[in-house]
Amino acid sequence: MKTPRRTPLTFEPGEKVVFLGIDEAAVRVHVELAEIPSSCALEGDDRSLCAQVRDTAVGEKLKALSCFFPGDAVTVQALVGALEPLGFSCELRQDFLEENRLIRLRFQKMQSIIISMDSRKMENPDLDIRYTLPDRIEEWSQGAVQDNGYDYVDEDGHILAVWLKTEDAEGWWPKIVELLKTERFEENDLSQSVQVLVSEKPNAELADCRQVWPE
């Protein structure tokens, strides 16, 4: 009898592993698990499992977790729907199609980088920048920094803020400033006119952010 190939999986330091409707031994039949930092097993129906995962993430103040489950235990959409409102992004999905369908979803708590632009200080206040700027940053960072929307943050509509999400705001904002210095966006040198703010919170409000540029 042919032995099925076992896919090696690793985990980040501090990542919590949650087994839904299945135990660790059953998962190890299909995949080669590295040393798990912390784990738990949960039982219940689809709705109950999602609620338990959400409560675990909140109660333990988790920043990253992986969920392992057979495809009939809970739906991907239900898990994403339970954790996205908490600021988690589904960064990695791995399916294992063996005798039973096993799925691994990895969720990461995202942080915020906000680029605030005052049209009165820009050489060419083109509204397309609300799309071209985050798209270029996402491409340049190879997906490590992603678009998270935009909004006008003053009553007169002069100041446009672009929200970005990433796992490491402190590590990425200096690199983004360097990009703004070396590239022009819609014919604007944004390094001379923008404010850059960061927060460890996902989807952070401006009041929850700290200005890091200009220094």
Inside any domain, residue 41: yes
What is the average per-residue pLDDT within 115-128?
96
- pLDDT tens-digit series, residues 37-53: 899 999 999 899 999 99
73 pLDDT band, cuts 50/70/90, is confident
- pLDDT tens-digit series, residues 159-187: 999 999 998 999 999 999 999 999 999 99
Q: Give the domain extent around 141.
A: 111-213
Residues 84 and 121 reside in one and the same domain:
no
- Listed residue (211, 190, 193, 204) closest to 134, CA to CA: 190
Domain boundary among 109, 131, 164: 109
Residues 31 and 115 reside in one and the same domain:
no
